[in-house]
Amino acid sequence: MKLNFKNSAIIIVLVFLNSFKIFAQEKVEQWNRFEIKLQHHNKGNSFNDVQLSAKFFNSDTTFFVSGFYDGNDIFKIRFMPQEIGKWNYIILSNIDSFNNKKGSFECIKATGKNHGIIKVSDTYYFKHADGKNYYPFGTTAYAWQHMGNELQEETLRSLKKSGFNKVRMCVFPKDYTLVKEEPIFYPFEVKKIETDTKGKKVFTWDFEKFNPLFFQHLEERIDDLAKLGIEADLILFHPYDKGRWGFDSMPNDINLKYLKYLTARLASFKNIWWSLANEWDFLKAKTVKDWDLLTKTVVKNDPYMHMCSIHGSTSTYYNYWKPEFTHVSIQDEAPVLNSYSAATLRNIYKKPIVFDEVGYEGNLKSRWGRHSPEQMTHLVWNGIIAGTYVTHGETYMFHNEKDTIYWADGGSFKGTSWKRISFLRDIVEEAPEPLFMADISRDLNTASAGKGYYLIYFGNEVNESWFFNLPKKNGDLEKLKPGTKFKVEIIDTWDMTITTHPITFETKAIDNYRFYDKDMKDIRLPLKPYIALRITEIH
């Protein structure tokens, strides 16, 4: 067991209190991980026997966090400080040598690319804790950290060169068509492995004992993602097990114990999102009531309120209006076939909307895995114009036996939409504010990003020209005025070019709803689908 603090440690100090050792840092950046490491030999099952938590407090806030057993007589308590300055703590435990131990550390200002935990902002959007807008451009690699180490490193390299800033990934290993790899670690201690008459391995788990190596590995990978500025949208349960390991149908008390252990370990990771499940409705052992309890358990054990949602099968919507869910994480492609349907979900839920599965770019026979790269890109654009977010995924069938399917294994991207999505991310991040539909339910393809900024997307329409025109309405903002001057840029979303149109346009009211150019000027457009326009006010 390595006693390192790969990401958050600045200085490791040894505090001697009553000749008992506490390993912890002296200084930690905001939103990085403060970790207390404690040693104690317990004869029984330390996962069950030892109660361990701590109270962290500064002059105006108090947090209670749970500790956990990390194997080899090592216990840990982790905390994510959010405010700079001195933080104090008191350890609470049924182990005498731990109990009532006190300490403190200094939280220092975040540096570099550390923008902090993600929070919901202004109802529909996400922001880092430091105020930087966060626009989720996610991809999918459900079981990447369960693959061989070389492949994991390849996944990290491919993510690094992509524009993705969120990955949907499962805690538990995956058994599915095209995904049969045995994981490198198991979450529980193995009691025994037998082989049944068909040659299938039959595992008997000691559900009372977690396997710290499994979780340490998961944490390393989440930290690796953090270094790349990528959020880990961690799926806590999934149905892709089919009796192979049985993690989809553990007793409910074990499910709760697992969630408490997982949150004690991971809640202090700034780039964690909780996804209670993938395709929750396919987990037949659990009822909606069970899911409600599991969700509440996660939220209750996460003092920082990380993003939290749950994900169903196609068009299966959970009760996302429940307060535990910070955002809506949907599998459904119908609403992103155009912008206005996607925007309707904003209007209904009044939370950020993330279409976390809309089908994948690929060449599978299954319809969920055979979008053209153009269609994958188009669906992401539709979501963006609606002020929502759409997650990418790639399911290209193996070319040879060394080949991998990104959606499950990770590896390298074989498709071409990922580059276009990165291009789109740049456009979105250059906008002054998050996008919303300027004239909701009436203008079907014009997004606004505040005053003087519009993004119009023509989807798969092929238009020869476009009369300069904008809606008078601009969300809840001040209405557009006549005499406003605009620059227009033509965006080829597929070829990834942005061409500035040489002419300046000036608005003139035509009716109570639309403004055209005062001289009714129009623009020639490339005779291609997937053209967008960026229209910005000139002062």
Contacts with its own copies by CB under 8 A lie at 314-317, 319, 321, 332-335, 337-338, 340-341, 343-345, 347-349, 365-367, 440-442, 444, 511-513
DSSP per position, 482-529: TT-EEEEEEEETTTTEEEE-S--EEEEE-SSSEEEETT--EEE--SSS
Nearer to its own copies, 231 or 443 (CB): 443
Q: Nearest distance from residue 176's CB to its own copies, in Å?
A: 16
Phi, psi dihedral angles at 315 (to 5 degrees): 60, 20
Q: SS3 for 2?
A: coil
* Cα 538 to chain centroid, rounded: 36
Distance between CA atoms of residues 11 and 29, nearest Å:
12
Q: Which is nearer to its own copies, 192 or 365 (CB)?
A: 365
Residue number, 317 or 467, with CB nearest to its own copies? 317
Closer CB to its own copies, residue 138 or residue 312? Answer: 312
Using CA atoms, how far apart are residues 124 and 326, in angstroms rounded to an integer? Answer: 10
Q: Which is nearer to its own copies, 104 or 341 (CB)?
A: 341
Give SS3 for 382: helix
Residue 248 corresponds to which amino acid? D
Q: Which is nearer to its own copies, 204 or 441 (CB)?
A: 441
Least distance from its own copies to the Cβ atom of residue 235, Å: 21
Residue 378 contacts residue 424 (beta carbons within 8 Å): no
Does residue 256 sit in helix, strand or coil? helix
| Amino acid code (one letter) for 264 | A
Residue type present at position 276? L
Judged by beta carbon, residue 116 or residue 312, the one nearer its own copies is 312
Q: Are strands 52-57 and 34-39 parallel, antiparallel or unpaired?
A: unpaired
CA atoms of 379 and 358, how far apart (whole Å): 8
Minimum distance between the CB of residue 372 and its own copies, rounded to whole angstroms? Answer: 16
20-25/12-17 β-pairing: antiparallel
In the bound state with its own copies, the residue whose beta carbon lies nearer, of 24 and 358, is: 358
- CA–CA dist 130, 328 (Å, integer): 23
Assigned token pair, 206: 């000691």
Closest by CA position to 261, among listed 404, 75, 84, 390 = 75
Our CB check for its own copies shows the closer of 161 and 367 to be: 367
Q: How far is the CB of 227 from its own copies (least distance, A)?
A: 37
CB of 318 to its own copies, least distance (A): 10
CB of 315 to its own copies, least distance (A): 4
Judged by beta carbon, residue 270 or residue 473, the one nearer its own copies is 473
Find the Cα–Cα–Cα–Cα dihedral 176, 180, 183, 184, rounded to 10°: -160
* Distances, alpha carbon 434 to alpha carbons 125, 132, 213, 355, 429, in Å: 7, 11, 40, 17, 8
CA separation for the pair 359, 355 (Å, rounded): 10
Contact status, residue 259 vs residue 236, Cβ threshold 8 Å: yes
d(CA 70, CA 146): 20
Nearest residue (CB) to its own copies, 227 versus 442: 442
Q: Which is nearer to its own copies, 321 or 467 (CB)?
A: 321
Q: Which is nearer to its own copies, 334 or 527 (CB)?
A: 334
Question: How many other C-beta atoms lie within 10 A of the C-beta of residue 495?
Answer: 12
- Cα angle, residue 248 at apex, residues 243 and 251 outer, rounded to 5°: 105
Two tokens, residue 200 = 């299938």
Q: How far is the CB of 341 from its own copies (least distance, A)?
A: 4
Q: Which of 94, 441 has the CB closer to its own copies? A: 441
- Secondary structure letter of residue 10 according to DSSP: S
CB of 457 to its own copies, least distance (A): 16
The distance of closest approach from Cβ of residue 365 to its own copies in the complex, given in angstroms and rounded to an integer, is: 7
CB 289 → its own copies: shortest distance, Å? 16
Structure tokens at 464: 């020869």
The CB-of-288 to its own copies minimum distance in angstroms stands at: 11
In the block, tokens 């492609």 appear at: 333
> Least distance from C-beta 320 to its own copies, angstroms?
8
Closest separation in Å from C-beta 241 to its own copies:
23
Return d(Cα 456, Cα 386) in angstroms, integer: 11
- Least distance from C-beta 349 to its own copies, angstroms? 8
Ordered DSSP codes for 295-343: HHHHHHT-TT---EE---STT----TTSTT-SSEEEE-SGGGSSHHHHH
